[in-house]
Amino acid sequence: MKKPSLFGMIALFLASVSYATDQDDSMRGMAGMEQGSMASEHANIHVDRTVTIDIVGMRFTPNHVDVKAGETIRFVIKNDSVLEHEFTLGDHAAQTMHRQEMRKAMRSGVSVHHHHEDNTVMVSAGQTETLVWTFARPGALEFDCNVPGHYEGGMTGTIMVIH
Strand pairing partners for 158? 64, 142
- Domain membership of residue 117 (yes or no) is yes
- CATH number of the domain that residue 12 is part of: 2.60.40.420
Global pTM reads 0.73
Q: What averages of pLDDT result for each successive group of 10 residues across the chain (163 residues)?
A: 44 33 33 52 79 97 98 97 95 93 84 70 95 95 95 97 95
- Domain membership of residue 1 (yes or no) is no
- Domain membership of residue 64 (yes or no) is yes
CA distances, 62 to each of 8, 38, 151, 159 (Å): 33, 21, 15, 11
**Count of CB atoms situated within 10 Å of the CB of 21:** 10
- Domain membership of residue 39 (yes or no) is yes
Q: Looking at residue 149, what is its pLDDT? A: 93
Domain count, the chain: 1
- Domain membership of residue 35 (yes or no) is yes
Per the structure, the complete domain to which residue 61 belongs is given by: 6-20+27-162
Q: Looking at residue 25, what is its pLDDT? A: 33
Question: Could you give the 3-state DSSP secondary structure of residue 5?
Answer: coil
Q: Which residues contact 57 (CB under 8 A, 6 or more apart)?
A: 81
**Nearest by Cα to 75 from 143, 145, 148:** 143
Q: Contact, 8 vs 88, CB < 8 A? A: no
- Domain membership of residue 97 (yes or no) is yes
